[in-house]
Amino acid sequence: MSSAEENNKALVRRFLEAQVNGDLDTLEELLAPDFVDRSLQPGQEPGRENFMQFVAQLSGAVSNASVLFEDQAAEGDKVISRLTMKRTHDRGEFLGFAPSGMEIKTTAILIHRIFGGKIVEEWSESSGLADAMRRRLERERIERERVEQELRVARRIQQASLPEEVPILEGWEISPFYQPAREVGGDFYDFHLLSEGRLGLVVGDATGKGVPAALVMSTTCGMLRLAAQNYSAPGENLQRINEALFPYVPSNMFVTCFYAILDPKNGHLSYANAGHDLPYLHRNGEAEELMARGMPLGLMPGMGYEEKEIALHVGEAALFYSDGLVEAHASDGEMFGFPRLRALVAEHGEEGTLGDLLLEELRSFVGEGWEQEDDITLLTLRRSATRS
């Protein structure tokens, strides 16, 4: 191989390295005034200035650019190069594609014609940046469809586990509200019709998102319904469900649950809590916490659950809820929070539309454009005057 051909190979290597690194000064030096690109990317014109503009746009959109020369040969005024280029598309839009942080690897075979120490023509055959980006978008589309399908399945599981009807009890108002977030969580509520006219009330939350959370939630609901038919004490119910659930719940998941049994004839409410947010009882213009100790379900075996009881009088109300309400954030990062919720229950607990009022307060707090972070569940139990 002649020294001229060796010089041409070195010139092409320098030229290609300048392309990859966005070195426009070197390109200005090496490109002939009448340079023509014979293998154009979408939207690219064949001339010298358009070639440099294309390189500048690409350089501004990527980082960590590198080139590896696999092979190179020269004959006469032409140089053939086989190489691999890598770039991370993380700095700006390119060819209509937003930055994704994805590494784009392209392999190419290029032919350059050289005259008077300048690059006159370029031909290339490569996997192509545009092709690589289209393949990336296709993978993202497939993944997005898979996730959306999973969310649809999770929603169906979740909806099927929720009660179809609200029990009607003379002298009582029961008002549930459930609003799922886009990414399905594990919120649930339920009612159990028990012997002697009693009613079981459940509000809970399985940690996690999507199908796993929906499956754990559905399993817990089924276990609760079965246990309610055999055991009359809330604490015993939770204890037995915890033992049954523990072997089947993934190690990174658990279920919080507040379980109460109401005797509507005398207003007696017995309850136990498996790590769930404390309900509030509106009484005498105050909001009292219904406290009872207990670990979440499925977290550890051998757990006991403290059981307590109260009597609800006419005009009093209990609010059961999930953390999607108190953990909602405003645009400045402030959280809705327990103190705010407790104050609202104390001030408005006598109103029959407590749930609606809380949701109005939430919407005012988070403002327009809020994207709901988690499922929101509210369940209000109010004792009203018995009709004669």
Q: What are the C-alpha distances in Å from 30 to residues 3, 11, 97?
A: 19, 8, 30
* pLDDT band at residue 388 under the 50/70/90 scheme: very low
Locate all alpha helices (DSSP H) within 33-102, ordered by sequence: 48-61
For tokens 């586990």, the residue is 161
Q: What is the pLDDT of residue 227?
A: 85
Average pLDDT (223-251) is 88
Q: Would you put residue 192 in left (φ > 0), alpha (ψ -120 to 50) or beta?
A: beta
pLDDT over threshold 90, residue 70: yes
| Inter-helix orientation angle 210-228/234-245, to 10° | 130
CB 295 within 8 A of CB 257: no
Q: How confident is the model at residue 250 (pLDDT cuts 50, 70, 90)?
A: confident
Tell me how far apart the alpha carbons of residues 282 and 350 are, in angstroms, rounded to a whole number: 7
d(CA 385, CA 208): 41
**Where are the domains positioned within the chain?**
3-141, 162-383
Q: Evaluate if residue 25 carries a pLDDT over 80.
A: yes
CB-hemisphere CA count at 13 Å for 250?
13
Contact between 346 and 286 (Cβ < 8 Å)? yes
∠ CA(334), CA(377), CA(353), 5° rounding?
90
CATH code reported for the domain at 162-383: 3.60.40.10
Pick the closest to residue 349 from 376, 324, 382 (CA basis): 382
Half-sphere exposure of 377 toward its Cβ, with a 13 Å CA cutoff?
25
- Return d(Cα 354, Cα 350) in angstroms, integer: 8
Among 53-62, 227-236, 304-313, where is mean pLDDT lowest?
227-236
- Look over the chain and give the mean of its residue pLDDT values, rounded to a whole number: 88
Second CATH level (architecture) for the domain 3-141: Roll (3.10)
Can you say whether residue 238 is alpha, beta or left, with left for phi > 0 and alpha for psi between -120 and 50 degrees? alpha
Residue found under tokens 């009882």: 281
Alpha-carbon gap, residue 268 to 137, rounded angstroms: 59
Q: Residue 197, Cβ neighbours under 10 Å: how many?
A: 11
Of 38-42, 189-193, 285-289, 371-375, least confident by mean pLDDT is 38-42
Which range among 107-121, 196-210, 276-290 shows the weakest confidence by mean pLDDT? Answer: 196-210
